[in-house]
Amino acid sequence: MRRAGTVFVALWFIGIAAAWGAEPPSVSPSQLVGNTLSAVAFVPRPAGMPGATGPNGGELERIMLQAYLGTDGRALVRAWDPSRDAYTAPAERRWSLNGATFCVDVPLAGPQPICADIH
C-alpha cells in the first residue's frame, strides 16, 4: 500500500456481481470501467496530526469516497469532507489496477493514492 500505515477498505462495485467459488476470478481494468466505486478507508493518522494520540500517530482517520471509473485511468471522485459535513465537488482524478492492487487518487487524502488489494 502506498499510504503510511495499514489501510482497511470496504469496496462495493456497483453493477459488478459474481458468484465466487473458492478462488475469486481475476479482475481486469475493462471490468471496472463504467462502474461506480463506493469505499470507506480507515487510515492511521500520522504523528502530529489532529487526532493523533501518541508520538507515532494514533486514532484512525475515516475516508469515504465515491468514484466513477472512466477509461484511460480517469475517474470522477468525490470524498466526504467532515469539516463541511458534505461531499466535495466531483473532481477528475486517476485510478489504476496493477494485478490485484487497485489505487485511486482521492481529494482530501493527501498526495498519495489510496490502494487496496481486490479479493
Q: What is the residue whose three cell numbers read 484511460?
A: 72
Q: Which band of pLDDT confidence, cut at 50, 70 and 90, is reported for residue 50?
A: low
pTM higher than the cut 0.75:
no
User: What is the predicted pLDDT for the residue at 58?
Assistant: 65
Task: Tell whether the model's pLDDT for residue 53 goes beyond 90.
Answer: no
Angstrom distances, CA of residue 105 to CA of 18, 23, 59: 26, 28, 22
Task: Tell whether the model's pLDDT for residue 15 goes beyond 50.
Answer: no
Q: Which band of pLDDT confidence, cut at 50, 70 and 90, is reported for residue 25?
A: low
- CB atoms inside a 10 Å sphere around CB 43: 21
User: What is the predicted pLDDT for the residue at 102?
Assistant: 93
Task: Tell whether the model's pLDDT for residue 16 goes beyond 50.
Answer: no
